[in-house]
Amino acid sequence: MLFFERQEAVRRRSRCLVLAFVLAVLAVVLAVNAVAWVLFVALPGQPQATLPVAVGTTAVILLLMAGASLYRIIGLRRGGAAVAQAMGGTPVPPDTTDPAHRRLRNVVEEMAIAAGTSVPLVFVLEDEARINAFAAGHSPADAAVAVTRGALDRLNRAELQAVIAHEFGHIVHGDIRLNLRLLGALFGIVVLGLVGRHLLVAGGRRGRNALPLLLLALALVVVGAIGLSAARLIKAGLSRQREFLADAASVQFTRDPDALVGAFLKIAGVPGGRRMAAIEAEEISHMLFDDGAGLSGWWATHPPLLARIQALRPGFKPVRLDDAYARQTMTAPSGLDEDRAQALAAVAPLPAAEARVALSPAALVASIGQCQTADHARAQAVLAALPEVVERAARDREHALPLLYGLLLSTSAPVRQRQRSELVARFDATQLEQAFDFSDRLAGLHPSLRLPLAELALASLKRRPRAELQQIADVVFALSHADSRVCLFEYALAQLLHQQIEASIDPATTWRRPQLKLVDCEAEVVAVLAAMAQAGHESTADAQRAFMAGLQRVLPNSIARYVPPAAGLAALDEAWPRLDALLPKAKLLVLEGLTAAASHDGRLRVAEAELLRLVARLLQAPLPAALTTA
């Protein structure tokens, strides 16, 4: 399934969620009205005013449910971190020295680089002995990945990688946003049961005079059970098929179905079943890698383990799963010990900076959001090639900021001087010199390393206070607009970082519904194509030919001519949001046109491919790491 088709499928499920939610609310309201009718109308001695009772009861219940859902949704505005912390997650800092935590961060960072997405926040549920994981967030920019202590201890690196790849399947294709919406909406349905339980406790303390209160509490508990059943059915209906798709994405990425099967078998072999200890596990059961609430049948949010294994290995015998259950009394496996016993493959080097590769527009479009084994190998090569000094700085909370600014400083002396003026007004001399020192160190950096290094540095900064993040976003914007001669790569990198920081500040506003057609954005398409053509060609004639090659892909009937941005790249600021709001087919055509402009001679340099990756990321289209081997 193509990337934008999968996202559209998620949007359709969102509409299904609205319908299912309305039906569930209707069922709960009818149940509450039935109870109210018995208590206030049908019993002897009660007034027979049926309509006022029904109206009043319905209004109170709707207000309570709406208020509960709104409260939950507001609490989730902080994105994936809010869910991980509510589950008792402990953040794993980028500079951790704990071996198990370091292995986890390495796997997550490799996945992010390979998939062409932001590096998510990483959490560990230290009190959970079961093997499980989840991803949460409104978008990749504010996503969080959490794994249990059981997963860290019991899974070897290949199995852990398969589990994390499964979660990245949810992140890349937009499932995590639907999951958060589901979490917020369904809280309003189950809240009556929670109120009933609290009233039962309160009524038990009041003694003999509490009979009416206890009857009301018992009724709410019964009605709450109806709401809980409806919530479970909605989650199960929207979740099961997505788990099969995420399993398939994991195997597509790792090309190692046995690793994912191995994780499933270890889950089956964990003593005590699959129910997690946290009481919130059922609420987020639709987000988990494996069922964590102990539900089965119609209510199960995940397919049975045997069905998931046989989807990967059709010849798998059920007796092997029985063996896994039988091994529950044996000593638990150690993932780190298994890693030490296995020889790790050597990391392949990066392609030469001036290497040229063929890349067709159709191949690029087909690769959006699609990870392969080569992408994982490229991600490993990227991390291995990072100079030790800058890699340590990217993982350090204090040094990550001057490193990030150093990545945005131009190699052009006049532009660099203007950028210095922007930084002087905001930072002390020490931080200023650190930024320029990092810029000098990065002067000869391989072009494939600049974007991943920026992502690592940004991951170290995401948990800073809102005011600091806003200041960082402002400085990033100022550096990219300090001079009209800033190159397109530096400008696009700054735009992407600014976009991601803004998403970290207010995660709930990041999702744009596609609504524009190409005819609505002709001026923006022409401007971006001209900038791409100019960036990749020194001569005006070559740039013009590249521009026309791209324009023919996107707008074949357009009479536009090649005109480089006269006022500098700042003229493109208004183009990105509108292009991001294009309908999927229109956005694909724009990406094909950009590819045609960048590779009109049939081949791309590594640096040009990285620029293309950056521009595609600005349009919410993640390109995998091994693009330059296409």
> Of 522, 571, 578, which Cα lies nearest the Cα of 551?
522
Q: Output the CA–CA distances (angstroms, integers) from residue 162 to 68, 229, 238, 246, 504, in the order listed.
A: 36, 32, 23, 10, 27
Separation between Cα atoms, residue 172 and residue 575, nearest integer Å: 23
Reading the block at residue 102, the tokens are: 């370091």
Identify the active-site residue in 159, 167, 243, 283: 167
* Regions of the chain short of the pLDDT cut 70: 1-15, 17-18, 36, 38-51, 53, 198-216, 271-273, 324-346, 509-513, 602, 628-630
Would you say 79 and 195 are in contact if contact means Cβ atoms under 8 Å apart?
no
Separation between Cα atoms, residue 281 and residue 599, nearest integer Å: 49
The answer for residues whose C-beta is within 8 angstroms of residue 403's C-beta and 6 or more apart is 390, 393, 394, 435, 438, 453, 457
Which residue intervals of 506-539 are DSSP H helices? 522-535
Would you say 551 and 532 are in contact if contact means Cβ atoms under 8 Å apart?
no
Question: Cα angle vertex 340, ends 261, 259, to 5°?
Answer: 10
- pLDDT at position 100: 93
Would you say 148 and 129 are in contact if contact means Cβ atoms under 8 Å apart?
yes
Using the structure block, give the residue that is written with the tokens 């744009």: 512
The dihedral formed by the CA atoms of 594, 598, 599 and 604, expressed in degrees to the nearest 10: -130
Residue 389, Cβ neighbours under 10 Å: how many? 12
DSSP type of residue 559: -
Reading the block at residue 611, the tokens are: 């620029």
Would you say 381 and 347 are in contact if contact means Cβ atoms under 8 Å apart?
yes
Domain boundaries, given as residue ranges, for the chain? 1-340
Reading the block at residue 19, the tokens are: 């319908």
Tens digits of residue pLDDT in 353-389: 777 777 788 888 888 888 777 888 888 889 999 999 9
DSSP type of residue 626: G
- pLDDT at position 353: 78
- pLDDT at position 107: 94
Separation between Cα atoms, residue 393 and residue 176, nearest integer Å: 30
pTM of the model: 0.86
Question: Cα angle vertex 349, ends 170, 366, to 5°?
Answer: 40
Separation between Cα atoms, residue 235 and residue 503, nearest integer Å: 27
Tens digits of residue pLDDT in 293-322: 777 777 788 888 888 998 888 888 887 777
Burial letters for 560-573: b for 16+ Cβ neighbours within 10 Å, e otherwise? bebebbeeebeebe
- pLDDT at position 335: 62
Q: Is 592 known to be catalytic?
A: no
Burial letters for 237-265: b for 16+ Cβ neighbours within 10 Å, e otherwise? bbbbebbebbbbbbbebbebbebbbbbbb
Reading the block at residue 370, the tokens are: 């699609």
Separation between Cα atoms, residue 119 and residue 143, nearest integer Å: 8
Reading the block at residue 132, the tokens are: 């499980």
Separation between Cα atoms, residue 485 and residue 590, nearest integer Å: 25
Burial group, residue 14, by CB count within 10 angstroms (0-12, 13-18, 19+): middle
Using the structure block, give the residue that is written with the tokens 């309509």: 51
> Of 470, 472, 492, which Cα lies nearest the Cα of 481?
492
Backbone phi, psi, residue 331, to 5°? -65, 135
Sheet with 144-148: strands ordered across: 90-91, 121-125, 144-148, 133-136
The answer for residues whose C-beta is within 8 angstroms of residue 192's C-beta and 6 or more apart is 28, 32, 61, 64, 65, 220, 223, 224, 227
Separation between Cα atoms, residue 128 and residue 278, nearest integer Å: 8
Would you say 95 and 396 are in contact if contact means Cβ atoms under 8 Å apart?
yes
DSSP type of residue 298: G
The fraction of the chain above a pLDDT of 70, given in percent, is 86
Residue ranges of E strands in 330-487: 356-358
Separation between Cα atoms, residue 528 and residue 534, nearest integer Å: 10
Would you say 618 and 581 are in contact if contact means Cβ atoms under 8 Å apart?
no
- pLDDT at position 111: 93
Separation between Cα atoms, residue 202 and residue 91, nearest integer Å: 37
- pLDDT at position 1: 44
